[in-house]
Structure 1
Amino acid sequence: MERLPYIDEHARSVDANRDRAWKALLKVVCKDSNDPLKPPSGFVVDSVEEPSRLALKGRHWFSRYALVFELDEQGPSRTLVRAQSWGEFPGLHGKIYRALVISSGGHKIVVRDMLRRIAAAA
């Protein structure tokens, strides 16, 4: 993955082993829960290390970005799911876009909701 500026990281402990948490991650994040190579719109797969890491990246006129999920075992039936966000927002339009998406708190709400849905699916 090309190194982009760090934005933030959110994490949630899930009551499931890492394999179940991985399946829940794919169910929530990917278009096809059986195929991590079918990411959501706006993203392409950067790398997959089943069942511990899914790295997505994307770009559009106002930014280049990455969303990386890492799953860490916390015990036999507990997994920490972390979502790291990275992004670059060049130029005036990028600054405005960053303010609307990141600084507004909208990004934080979306990522935390995604982690909540992963925990529920596990």
Structure 2
Amino acid sequence: MDIGVLPPVDEHAVIVSATAVEVWDALGETLEQSFGRPRSARYARLVGVADRTASGTGPLAKGSAFPGFRVADAVPGRKLVLVGRHHFSTYALVFHLEAEGESTRLRAETRARFPGPGGALYRLLVISSGAHALLTGRLLAAVRRRAEQVR
């Protein structure tokens, strides 16, 4: 999937008082925990995601999958590209890790296309409602907490 053709949806960022390696490890653990829950699998079935179960060698390995996402690219400590699709959207979630002194800036960039009337309704329910922003913010905060606990 060429994520460059997907329109930008939003971007969120946090500053983490940890190295990029520590943030990378915390990101993998947090994704595995967050998307490994039964609730994620139920949601995946409900909207018809392409990747409904975990597979591969780990949450940050290229080609691996977990409910809702497949790892399209992974540059440890720098960038993680997750892609997915379901009945109402084709999307990418890109994490950028940027060293800033003794801290790391972690950005989550969302890109997506919402085709047809079903996609428009889905966008309204998930994006326009603020639910996506809330969940992305919680995910970034969880990564920050986990990475900072290591120190």
TM-score, scaled relative to structure 2: 0.75
- Unaligned 5+ residue runs, structure 1? none
Q: Are residues 1:52 and 2:54 paired?
A: no
Q: Are residues 1:109 and 2:134 paired?
A: yes
The SS at the match of 2:18 is: coil
Q: 1:20 aligns with which of 16, 19, 22?
A: 22
- What is the deviation of 1:40? 3.1
Determine which structure has the larger strand proportion and give its number.
Answer: 1
- Per the alignment, residue 123 of structure 2 pairs with 98
Q: Contact between 1:29 and 1:39, CA under 8 Å: does it hold in 2?
A: no
The SS at the match of 1:51 is: coil
CA RMSD of the aligned region, Å? 1.5
The SS at the match of 2:66 is: coil
**C-alpha distance in 2, partners of 1:105/1:14?**
24
Q: How many equivalent residue pairs?
A: 120
- Per the alignment, residue 94 of structure 2 pairs with 68
**C-alpha distance in 2, partners of 1:84/1:64?**
14
Determine which structure has the larger helix proportion and give its number.
Answer: 2
The SS at the match of 1:101 is: helix
- What is the deviation of 1:48? 0.5
- What is the deviation of 1:29? 1.2
- Per the alignment, residue 7 of structure 2 pairs with 5
- Per the alignment, residue 120 of structure 1 pairs with 145
The SS at the match of 2:67 is: coil
- Per the alignment, residue 42 of structure 1 pairs with 68
